[in-house]
Amino acid sequence: MSPRFIVALICLAAPLGAQWLNYHEAGVPRTADGKVDLSAPAPRTPDGKVILDGTWESAQGYFTDLARDLKPGDVEMLPWAKALQAQREGRGHRDDPMAACMPPGVPRIDMTANSVSMPHPFKIVQTPKLVLLLYETSANSTFRQVYLDGRTLPVDPQPTWLGYSIGHWEGDTLVVETTGFNGREWVDTAKGHPQTDAARVTERFSRPDFGHLQIVITIDDPKAYAKPWTAKVPVHLLPDSDLIETFCENEKDQIHKLP
């Protein structure tokens, strides 16, 4: 990622103070010194289903290049998509929608941990029929709704940045399928992998222990890629923490910024 782009994102993001940080939640497993026991078993509902609730942050690097752990050839872009990706790098990522305060898109929104200086966690709120994903990003706070009530994905949806999501459980794994994108999203930032309105993104959330998640992301986008491709993103818990409010301004609305 170019230094200019990093500075732009830092300037655009405006966090507005911590909310209940360092609050010690009851019922959380802790070690003798009072710290959260991140290696404790994952919590479960009375009927045995794993609970994904928590404030989480992805490992660094996937925000800039989702394919960072993949082998050459695992991501086969079609010629036009490959040319567009090269163009985005050549222009120093000045065309990234996030620089214009637009949402990161899916799956990039799952991994907006750009660096130590730019952490952007997300929160999972799990209910039997709906999972809420709340995001603190440099392009405004936002959310997704994952419906578990048996509905199907819309056939002819109004295109959106974050799409429409439904989910189901496969054992201890929450499988989320999302379609209905507007085709303007970027898969990641430094590489600028394209994403079209034909994309179908599947995210598989699993919690092996109290302090860790893994998100296995599959991108099936026949307009941009010769075949689906999959990446695994490690995610860690932010214990005794919470989201903070963020907003993004485009230098045309300075009067509304709080001092």
- Return the percentage of the chain with pLDDT > 90, whole number: 66
**Whole-angstrom Cα distance, residue 125 to residue 98?**
25
Whether omega before 15 lies within 30 degrees of 0, making that bond cis, reads no
Alpha helix segments (H runs only) across the chain = 3-12, 79-90
- Count of CB atoms within 10 A of residue 47's CB? 6
pTM for the full predicted model: 0.87
Question: Average pLDDT for residues 14-32, to the nearest whole number?
Answer: 70
**pLDDT greater at residue 219 or residue 116:** 219
**Whole-angstrom Cα distance, residue 43 to residue 127?**
14
Q: What is the sign of the dihedral through the CA atoms of 130, 131, 136 and 139?
A: negative
Distances in whole angstroms, Cα of residue 254 to Cα of each of 116, 148, 247, 249, 259? 27, 40, 12, 7, 10
Longest dimension (CA), the chain: 57
**pLDDT greater at residue 70 or residue 255:** 70
**pLDDT single digits (tens) 148-205:** 999 999 999 999 999 999 999 999 999 999 999 999 999 998 899 999 999 999 999 9
Q: Where are the beta strands (DSSP E) in 20-119?
A: 54-58
Question: Average pLDDT for residues 119-134, to the nearest whole number?
Answer: 93
Evaluate if residue 10 carries a pLDDT over 60.
Answer: no
Selecting from 2.40.128.20, 3.50.50.60, 2.40.430.10, 3.40.449.10, what CATH number does the domain 3-256 have? 2.40.128.20
pLDDT band at 3 (very low <50, low <70, confident <90, very high): very low
**Whole-angstrom Cα distance, residue 187 to residue 128?**
29
